[in-house]
Amino acid sequence: MTGTDCGPTGFPARTRPHPHESLVPWGNHLVSMLLLRLTARDLLALHARRRLVPHLAARWVHFGRGESSDGERQAWASSLVSLAEDLVAAERGNVEMIVECSPTVEESETPDADGQIDVVLVGRHPAEGVLSVQLVELKQWSAVTRVEAATADLVYVDGIEDPVKHPALQLSQYHVLFTGPEGPLRGLRFECGGFAYLHNATDESVRPLLGVDAPTGPYAYTYTSDTRDRLLKDLQSHFSAEDDYSAAEYILHRMNLRNTPLLDAMVNSCGEDTVFTLRGRQKKVADDVLEASELILDSPDREAIVPRPQHAVFLVSGGPGTGKSAIGLQLRADLEAAGRTVKYASGSRAFNAAIKESVGYTEAEFRERFAYFSSFVTPPNPPLDVLICDEAHRLRDRTTNYRLPTEKQGTKPQVDELLDASRLTVFFLDAGQTVRPQEVGTAELIEDAARRRDAVVRHYRLTEQYRCGGSDAYLRWARALLGVSAQEPHEWVPDGLMHIEVVDTPDEMEHVVRTEFDAGATARMVAGYCWPWSKPDANKNLENDVRIGGWHRPWNASSESFCANGEPPSRIWPVHDAGIGQIGCVYTAQGLEWDWCGVIMGDDMVWRTDRWVFQRGKQRKDPKAGVMRVAKPGSLDPKVRVSTLDDDEFARCVRHAYHVLLTRASRATVLYSTDEETRRHLRKLVGEVDVHGLRPTQATIPPELRIARNSGAARSRRARRAQSKAKLKNEMMLF
């Protein structure tokens, strides 16, 4: 702000901020890259399909590096493939190759290196059985000459004008970053070394790199085409020929590419304080809100003689898995600990119910901390210090509830009710997840409402995402498939972070999902709203509404209590183990995630020749069964299929619903369409699952990294206190 002394958040230290100031998103940060993670044999299979280089090029663009040059593409096609072929020749095709990565997901602190190492090889040591890691710099150099006679640290390379460092010096920096106190190998038992591989060179042509005065260390080996046989033997000495599970998962976990699921983090912390590790933009948002609370709000320790008049609005937008809910829940805990009056509101009944069920809040504890958007028709008096609004894309034009009397119905825009409820309001939204026509939450709506109140507006955009295994490639693929983005649908390229497969029958989908569930993974089946949704009968039995040929399954129970065969009510279906037998929809899945998710695409969205076709369905009553059945295939969502909704808006709602469903998995999506032509289209884009080791089954995860699935039974306050006491005792024993 021109001419104003600003505090650290952009708010003035002593004077009221300009009412229309808006914070633009951060510029490009040098964040960690990870272009690919596959075993050597899988990488070669991908290359044989001519899909390796295009995938790496797309990832390169995503990380802000621009279009890859011909030289970079040639290096990927040549050097990576050469190394993979050597691993296979050494009978070590099981070794995993993590391509173009840096050791953390924070900004690179490597002063002299580019921040990314060409390849990290990960496996098990054949003798020790511990984690074995080799850091690799791949060079296409064919000849080098020494810059000075006295040192081999700097050399000239044919085709490069300026002198370059000996590769061992680069590797020494990476070795420190990987093995240091903040590196991904901290706390693990491991063997770690490194080498440079110049497969186009001979020993004689790169003699300056091999002299007695060259850098030394466990990372300073250099191999050329002359010493390939020695490389193969050394690879055999570094890595076992067989692995029971993916050793690379340790690295991904320590790089925070495998986040602790949201509800697991809440359970682990007993709901008292969260255990989220906020990073990059996430941490920036949280820090700015906390600093603003100190500058704008009155002290919680004493009553203000003249209350401060400021009102601030923080608007945080981002796609699935960018950490919006993690930021919000962490802020709630931090602000509550600071003595602020704060509530966490959501437009998702399923999300709120899942938190209540998983953490085990009593009704009073839950109401004290959490609310719905519809809870603020009458504003609190005095206003809350902070109101955190998650899933703000689900804001309604008005607060209406047929269960409530007229005086409790909203009379003004719902966004105004939320702004009236607090002094500092934080909104989290994703425009790609609006799935009903009456959902009006947009950045423009919120900004306009805030400015009518003369409030400061800060708008942040989150881009790095940690859902779907951290695979931005999968999110781009899903958005392009559905037409949510402008990108044309394209073939899926396995990246080792996220997995997708297409099946031919719902039985096959259920078998895959249930197999992983039985092995200990979290898993659910979901579907487009293309079948009637019956309430339980008088004896609380569920109707098998979702009917595909001879495969019949019920929707999650439209009930407030457990049903005849132990099926949970819909509000806790996502987190209760007994929910595995029912099918969820977008309204019960939004905001939640599982390791594996089976997605049924119905006849509301089908592929015809070269485009998507969207269809509204009809239902009829089956006189014999006494329940509704499908009369015309298509959408049966009562809020979406109505004739008053135009075709474009109808298509948008259906696309967004499937976008939500396709982004619920953190490891694998199993996709099935009820339409044969659509299945053929999907299979063409996804391809067959014929590459070794790509399916991230529970058995491939190291035992230490498998998260025990919450049984779904809410824990009592006494149980949570006992866990907290035990946790404190264990922490004291460490000192």
Instruction: Give the pLDDT of residue 211.
Output: 76
CA-closest candidate to residue 425, choices 434, 415, 433: 415
- Pick among 3.40.710.10, 3.90.950.10, 3.40.50.300, 3.40.1410.10: CATH of 262-462: 3.40.50.300
Instruction: Give the pLDDT of residue 512.
Output: 95
Per-residue pLDDT band for 333 (boundaries 50, 70, 90) equals confident
Yes or no: say if 575 and 263 are a contact pair by the CB < 8 Å rule: yes
Does the N-terminal peptide bond of residue 382 adopt cis geometry, omega within 30 degrees of 0? yes
For residue 175, give both structure tokens.
């070795």
The Cα 598–Cα 580 span in angstroms is: 11
The Cα 334–Cα 270 span in angstroms is: 15
Q: What confidence tens digit (pLDDT) does each residue in 467-515 have?
A: 787 788 899 999 999 999 999 999 898 888 899 999 999 999 999 999 9
The Cα 572–Cα 36 span in angstroms is: 36
For residue 507, give both structure tokens.
């039985």
Which position has the higher pLDDT, 670 or 13?
Answer: 670
Which position has the higher pLDDT, 329 or 348?
Answer: 329
Enumerate residues 6+ apart whose C-beta is below 8 A from 363.
Answer: none
For residue 25, give both structure tokens.
């998103």
Instruction: Give the pLDDT of residue 52.
Output: 85
Amino acid identity at 167: P
Per-residue pLDDT band for 655 (boundaries 50, 70, 90) equals very high
Q: Indicate the range of 27-31, 387-391, 448-452, 571-575 predicted with least confidence.
A: 27-31
The Cα 543–Cα 229 span in angstroms is: 66
Count each helix (H run) and each strand (E run) in the chain, helices first: 20, 26
Q: What is the DSSP string of 482-545?
A: HTSSSSPP------SS-EEEE-SSHHHHHHHHHHHHHTT--EEEEE-S-S--PPP-TT-PPP--
Q: What is the pTM of this model?
A: 0.76
Cα 436 to Cα 69, 433, 443, 534, 564, distances in angstroms: 44, 9, 17, 20, 31
Domain boundaries, the chain: 34-255, 262-462, 468-701
Per-residue pLDDT band for 87 (boundaries 50, 70, 90) equals very high
Instruction: Give the pLDDT of residue 149.
Output: 58
CA-closest candidate to residue 658, choices 597, 717, 713: 597
**Taking 70 as the threshold, does the pLDDT of residue 627 lie above it?**
yes
Determine whether 292 is exposed, middle or buried from the number of CB atoms within 10 Å of its CB (0-12, 13-18, 19+): buried
SS3 content of the chain, % helix, strand, coil (to 5): 35, 20, 45
Instruction: Give the pLDDT of residue 210.
Output: 86
Phi and psi at residue 670, in whole multiples of 5°?
A: -110, 120
Give the DSSP H or E segment for 313.
Answer: strand 312-318
What do you get for the CA distance between the two ends of the chain, in Å? 49
**Taking 80 as the threshold, does the pLDDT of residue 640 lie above it?**
yes
Residue 684's SS3 state is helix
Q: Residue range 13-29: average pLDDT?
A: 31
Pairing of strands 151-157, 144-148: antiparallel
Enumerate residues 6+ apart whose C-beta is below 8 A from 7.
Answer: 13, 291, 295
The Cα 563–Cα 570 span in angstroms is: 11
Mean pLDDT, the chain, whole residue set: 82
Instruction: Give the pLDDT of residue 725.
Output: 44
Q: What confidence tens digit (pLDDT) does each residue in 141-185 have?
A: 988 887 665 566 788 888 787 888 889 888 998 998 888 887 888
Which position has the higher pLDDT, 93 or 161?
Answer: 93
Which residues are paired to 551 by β-bridges?
Answer: 548
Yes or no: say if 180 and 186 are a contact pair by the CB < 8 Å rule: yes
Q: Residue range 652-657: average pLDDT?
A: 94
Which position has the higher pLDDT, 320 or 297?
Answer: 297
Which position has the higher pLDDT, 33 or 7?
Answer: 33
Which position has the higher pLDDT, 59 or 52?
Answer: 52
**Taking 50 as the threshold, does the pLDDT of residue 107 lie above it?**
no
Pairing of strands 370-372, 342-346: parallel
